[in-house]
Amino acid sequence: MSVPTFTNFDFSPAPEQTKQRYQHLAAKFHAEFPNEAIQYYTRAPGRVNLMGDHIDYNLFSCLPMAIDFDLVAAVHANPESLEIALVNTDPKFTKQQFTLPEDGSVITIDDNNFNWSSYFRCALIVAHKYLLEKGRDASKPLVGMHVAFDGTVPTGGGLSSSAAFCVASTLAILKANGVDSISKADLTRITVVSEHYIGLNNGGLDQCSSVYGEDGMCLLVQFRPKLNGIPLKFPTLPDGEELKFIISNTLVESPKKLTAPVNYNLRVVEMGIASDLLAKKFNLSLPSESNINSGTLRGFMETYFVEVEKQSPWDGQDNVKGMKWLQELTDKCDEWFTTEEKVGFTTEEAAAALGLSVEEFTQKYLTKMEVRYDKLKLYQRAKHVFSESYRVLQCLHLLQTIENGDDFLREFGGVMNASQQSLDQLNGSSHPNCNRICEIALANGAYGTRVTGAGFGGSLVSITTAKKLPNLVNALVAEYYKKEYPNITDDELANALVDTKPAWGASVVAAAAVE
């Protein structure tokens, strides 16, 4: 399945309005680069994750949807030039310019000069590596590009503006360098690692959602047996009632790159150590599949049930078996960790539990990325991952079996609330403001509310009906936004509290569509 090229705006829920947005972007482009034609546009959406956070880098499936907020790039490529110039309709992203390496080498990223163009460099790296993989002459430089961007995905809000930026940019760069068609699988595979080049060790949730999104559908994002995004329908509600997904941004920004050592990357490290520790308890050896080259909790699950419990392997498709295994592991975490271990592990304690010296432990787990902690919460993280992965399969089961929309809302909402508990209590990735929003939402018409994406602030997603929406919105405005941010403007509010729809994934948009 290839990434599509759209020749009009029918893919958008509001084609005329979308066309005007592209015209506005074109005007920005022409103001900056007056003598150049826009050759094409690329776009990629943000995502909201409905279920399954902090489990993708453990290779467990998630349930997100691409949303109707995206990043659009207007592009002019010039094979005679090595210049990259990037402009943005948002004045906070000031013009950036740099030159591509003339000798055809892959560009590097200077961590001391980190800004929004660092994400474009990430895209240049993954696009270039893909071109080399396809046989491009290694001494031939990439072509110069002038690009204007317009993004509607709130930044640092847990809706993956960075993935939208990297996916749309990679698509733009590939097209500039002669790739007119790329499969969704390839575009996902290469962009999943794009942010790793700026030190963020994300899994594949965001990029897969941004590429595979389909209008009106959520997605089962799988990493085994292969990376895939499978579109799934929601049940219809009775009496023409409409299902609504409301996103409420806490406005507590969580810039992933800056907080990675104590938040996101620390979770990646803790879960990698937890996998190896569990494996050690049973003398198992796990494949090194994590972003720090340790085992993963999925790897532990598969090895444990086959080698210790002597069961047949799980193909990843049989939901009943997957749920049984994950439930068992969730319960067993309570048995497998002692009372002291449940408090957390110091570096010395974790090293001893793994039979390593502190030097060996540090070398193995703490050098790939910088992390800071008092205690490693290995029990909590493992239990979160097993129970959260169970909940994804539970949601999948609900989507596949429930026909009655009311039952769906109640049950799906219940699973979302259980997930929020786990994110807060076990994974430590909620935030007091997130918890406040949950309380208000649940008391005012949401069936379920949970932090979506990385968390530590960022956004929440609530599920409700169109009928209950006004009450929910009014309560959030009065009891959260006006209290926390008394000076909030109407525009800021409109951006913070949004009613989203599942939307199309990444695409090229022909320049002619805008004229």
Q: Which residues bind ligand GLA (CB under 6 A)?
A: 49, 53-54, 56-57, 160, 202-203, 205-206, 453-454
The single residue among 161, 303, 420, 429 that binds ligand ATP, judged by CB under 6 A, is: 161
The single residue among 162, 169, 250, 430 that binds Mg ion, judged by CB under 5 A, is: 162
d(CA 440, CA 478): 10
Least gap, CB of 273 to ligand GLA (angstroms): 17
231 in Cβ contact with 217 (< 8 Å): yes
By CB under 5 A, is residue 433 in contact with Mg ion? no
116 is in the binding site of which of Mg ion, ligand GLA, ligand ATP, none (Cβ under 5 to 8 A by kind)?
ligand ATP
Residue nearest to Mg ion (CB): 162
Site string for ligand ATP, 214-253 (x = CB under 6 A): ----------------------------------------
- Catalytic, 315? Answer no
By CB under 6 A, is residue 149 in contact with ligand ATP? yes
Q: Which of 70, 206, 276, 424 is catalytic?
A: 206
Residue nearest to ligand ATP (CB): 151
Token representation of residue 330:
């969730």
By CB under 6 A, is residue 450 in contact with ligand ATP? no
* Closer residue to Mg ion, CB minimum distance, 275 or 500: 500
Token representation of residue 266:
């620390």
The single residue among 6, 33, 93, 98 that binds ligand ATP, judged by CB under 6 A, is: 93
Site string for ligand ATP, 395-434 (x = CB under 6 A): ----------------------------------------
| Angle between the N-to-C axes of helices 205-212 and 161-176, in degrees from 0 to 180, rounded to the nearest 10 | 60
* Closer residue to ligand GLA, CB minimum distance, 54 or 146: 54
By CB under 6 A, is residue 64 in contact with ligand ATP? no
Q: How many CA atoms lie within 13 A of 441 on its CB side?
A: 32
45 - beta bridge partners?
70
In the block, residue with structure tokens 């430089």: 141
By CB under 6 A, is residue 162 in contact with ligand ATP? yes
What b/e sequence results for 302-340 when a residue is b if at least 16 CB atoms lie within 10 Å of its CB, and e otherwise? bbbbeeeeeeeebebeeeebbbbbbeebbeebeebbeee
Helix/strand/coil for 230? strand
The single residue among 12, 18, 155, 507 that binds ligand ATP, judged by CB under 6 A, is: 155
Helical spans, DSSP H, in 260-372? 264-281, 297-303, 319-336, 339-343, 347-353, 358-365
Degrees, nearest 5: CA angle 348-354-355: 85
* Closer residue to ligand GLA, CB minimum distance, 206 or 289: 206
Least gap, CB of 455 to ligand ATP (angstroms): 8
74 in Cβ contact with 41 (< 8 Å): yes
Least gap, CB of 29 to ligand GLA (angstroms): 29
458 is in the binding site of which of Mg ion, ligand ATP, ligand GLA, none (Cβ under 5 to 8 A by kind)?
ligand ATP
Residue nearest to ligand GLA (CB): 202
Q: Among candidates 380, 117, 141, which has minimal Cα distance to 273? A: 380
210 in Cβ contact with 171 (< 8 Å): no
By CB under 6 A, is residue 165 in contact with ligand ATP? yes
Site stretch for ligand ATP (CB under 6 A), options 2-10, 26-34, 86-94, 283-291:
86-94
Least gap, CB of 411 to ligand GLA (angstroms): 22
In total, the chain counts a number of residues equal to: 515
146 - beta bridge partners?
76, 85
Helix/strand/coil for 500? strand
What b/e sequence results for 218-236 when a residue is b if at least 16 CB atoms lie within 10 Å of its CB, and e otherwise? bbbbbbbeebbbebbebbe
In the block, residue with structure tokens 């990735």: 429
Instruction: Name the phi and psi angles at 500, rounded to 5.
Output: -105, 160
* Closer residue to Mg ion, CB minimum distance, 162 or 177: 162
Residues binding Mg ion (CB under 5 A)? 162
Active site residues: 206
Residues binding ligand ATP (CB under 6 A)? 71, 88, 90, 93, 116, 119, 149, 151, 155-162, 165, 254-257, 453-454, 458
